[in-house]
Every structure is written in C-alpha cells, then in structure tokens.
Amino acid sequence: MRFSLATAVGLAVLVGSAAAVDVNPLPAPQQIIWGSSGPIAVSQKLSLSLPGASGANKKIVEAAFARASKTITDLRWTPAAVERPIPTFEAFPTASDSSAPVERRAPGGGRVTKAVVKIADYSADLQQGVDESYTLIVKQGSDTLEIVAKTVWGALASFTTWQQLVIEHNDGLIVEQPVRIVDKPIYPWRGIMLDTGRNFLSVKKLREQIDALALSKLNVLHWHLDDTQSWPIQLKTFPQMTKDAYSKREQYSHKDVADLLGYARARGVRLIPEVDMPGHSASGWRQIDPEIVTCDNSWWSNDDWPKHTAVQPNPGQLDIANPATYPAVQKVYKELSSIFTDNIFHVGGDELMTNCFNFSSHVNSWFAQDASRTYADLAQHWLDNALPIFNNKTNTGGKPRQLVMWEDVVLSPDMPGKVVPKDIILQSWNSNANIKTLTSQGYKVIASNNEFLYLGMCESLECRVKH
C-alpha cells in the first residue's frame, strides 16, 4: 500500500445570478456566490486585523496571511487556461462559443486595502476532527476582505482560497466580482502517504510536499518512516538502527522531525508517523537484535510463489513469538511518540507473510506447544502483546493516542478471525468493497484504494507483485 492517497474535494454549489469569472478555486468550495457588479481592486499590501487574537496560534495566522499576500503580489497570476461550459453553436455559419474569454471592466467598485479575520477559538489544536470551516466575503464598494472562521485552521484554508481569487489585470490586482464563499471539508482526513523507507526524501523535498498539501487544502502527511529496505530515523534509544539507513546523508534527526512538524503545523498540515510492524520490518530492527527479525536472509520468492516470504525484496518481519521483540518495540515506539505531536500514530499491520515465520525457531516452538494453533492465533498473539504497549500512556508521554492500522489486520485471508478493537482506525488499500465491509463492522476507515489513489502502482499483476 505504498504511496496511498486519500483525499476529497468539496461540492460546488452556485447560488444566485453571477457574471462569468475566470478563477476556479480548488478544491471547489461548498458554496460560492459571485456578484455581477464588476471587478474590485486589491491593494498590493493589505493591513491585517485579528480581533480577539491570543496565544501562540496568532503568530501562525499572521505568518500564513503574509505568505499568501506575498504569493499574490509576487506571482501576479493571470488565468491562462480556464474552465468553461461546453459551448453551444448556432446553425452554420454564425457559430457562438460561450467559452470566449471574459472581458473585464476597469475596477470601479472599491479597493480592498485591509483584511479582518475573526476567529472564534484560537486555542483549538491541529488534531483529527478540528473545525476547518470558514466564510470569506468581498463586498462591492467595501475596502475589507472579511473572513470568519471557527479555528485558526479554517482561517488558513481561507487564505489559500483568497490566494486563488486575486488575479492581475492591467498591471493591477483585482477580484473579478464581489464574492461570498462558505466552505468546510467533507472529510477530516485528507492527505497523502510518503514512503521514505524505500525512497529517501530530503527535508527540503518533504517541505515541498507539505506546501503542495496546504495549497490543495489537504491536511495530512502520512509519513511511512521505514521499511525492510532502510531505517532512516535517528533514535537515542537505539542509535545503531541507522546503520541500516541508505547512507549517513539519508537520515532524519530529532531536529529534522521537529522542524518539519513546525513547518507543517504553520500550514495546517498534520504529520502522522507510521512504523510498519510486524511486517515490512528488517532494517534497523536487526541492529537491535538479529533474533527479533525472521526470514530477512531468505530468498524473498524462492522462484516459487507458494514459498514466497515477502511481496518484494528484501524480506523480513518482526519475530512475534520471540519475547525479546516486545521490549524493543516498546522503546522504539516510546521515543517516536515523544517527538511526534499528533494524537494519531500508524502502527502498520499489513502483508504479514506466513512463510516468513517458518524461518523462526521461536514460531516453530510456539506452534509445537499447541497443535490447534493457527497463523491467525499467531497474529492475535502480536495484537495481544503489542496493543498494550501502543496504548500505554507512559509510552506516549501521557497523552491519548489513537492508532491506525492497515486493513490486513482484519481482512487478511491468511489470518482470519482476529479480534481487533473497534477504536483502531483501519486504512483500506485493497478494494472499495472492503470499505463497506469494515464500516459495517463498526470501524472508522481511511480510503486509499490502490486502483485509483496509488501513485506508485503499476497496472499488471506481475508489476504489483514485484513492487
């Protein structure tokens, strides 16, 4: 499930009569009402008023508005390719094309020189379900951009919309018509997943991704930190784990993480970490203790798919029957929980390969102790021992932590019948039908279907197996 993407855009509802405009804010606002009285000039530098502003989040609002304003004045955008209705034509030879460019009058309906942003709650944290709604109004004859938002995070979304509304015309900046926008996201989780275990990305490139998310009003960067191929994040508890980074250059320090968290928060983006366990786990973990990893020295497919130990090279899984595995998991999770600030942590759970466990003496011994045991029982053994670690507040700095796991923990055909608590959010990547299956069982679901939203996926089955 690499490079998953789960995103939603608002439903556009056009109300009232309006003149044609070139701009097309995206994602489409829930409601946008254009006037028809003509363009309104916009000053190159608006004064900003924040009635009732308080707390640390005030600086976030000020900085975000300054970024949007700078982009508007530096870019001086003129729509070049605009969305138009499908044209209709009169009988030949006098065709009429409704896609003709908009002819703009000179601004004559006031000049926007200031922005007044009213935020009801400056203290609301950037967490799952925070209110991101806003209303944006530019009135004919008014000198004020009016923004009303429940929280700072809705205000940041409104600045992105404002940035899309202001265009250049005759060497000046305008909004094409008076406008009122009422908007909020349909879904609270809208984001992309980036895999830096298989494909290292520099901090600079991660910042670029965060910028792109913010400009698209996406609010989650799901950071798949590691995989069997590499362990790039430095830990004080086990500094030897980065021996399995691709290189000394391709690592992330605590400072790198803190800087990215601050950069993302300033743009309304949540940084949610994933450590994929117990599958996709070899690099890093084997540096703690090679005995807590199984099958990492196997041939991943044996040139015989029924004997495969992974869906791609290189193989490796945590040995979930080895008691030494769980103290290592506890220490790694505790340290990462201390540096990531979101209330959600993704703990993986996908693509457990039963053949991989055949290489473990601990697993073989565990099965020998009770002939009735199955691989589903083995997976349940992982859940029964790992979930108390993940849910223990001493491992999360005393803060509540909600877990995300891949849908495989419930739906894997190799390991059916496991008991997975309903308070775990499940990320679905295999089939749209699975979403209904999981929600009907009472789970909350993140939709990231590999047929539609999987940017690193090939079309053929062979390519899927190899990648």
Q: Is 351 part of the annotated catalytic residue set?
A: yes
Q: How much of the chain is helix, strand and coil, in % rounded to 5?
A: 30, 20, 50
Structure tokens at 18: 């309006």
Say if residues 382 and 341 touch (Cβ distance below 8 Å). Answer: no
Calpha distance 254→259 (Å, rounded): 9
User: From edge to edge, which strands make up the β-sheet containing 179-183?
Assistant: 31-34, 179-183, 134-138, 144-151, 111-121, 40-49, 172-175, 167-169
Is 280 tagged catalytic?
yes
Let me know: does 3 contact 456? Beta carbons within 8 Å.
Answer: yes
**Rounded Cα–Cα distance for residues 343 and 329 (Å):** 19
Choose, from 169, 222, 224, 280, the residue flagged as catalytic.
Answer: 280
List phi, psi (to 5°) of 194: -120, 135
Has 224 been annotated as catalytic? no
For residue 198, which amino acid is it?
R
Q: 227, 244, 342, 408: which is the annotated catalytic residue? A: 227
DSSP characters over 123-147: ---S-TT----EEEEE-TT--EEEE
b vs e for 113-138, b when ≥16 Cβ sit within 10 Å of the residue's Cβ?
A: bebbbebeebebebebebbbbbbbbb
Say whether 32 sits in a helix, a strand or coil.
strand
Integer Cα distance of 463 and 311 in angstroms? 11
Residues in a beta bridge with 94: none
Among 132, 274, 351, 408, which one carries the catalytic annotation? Answer: 351
Catalytically active residues are: 227, 280, 351
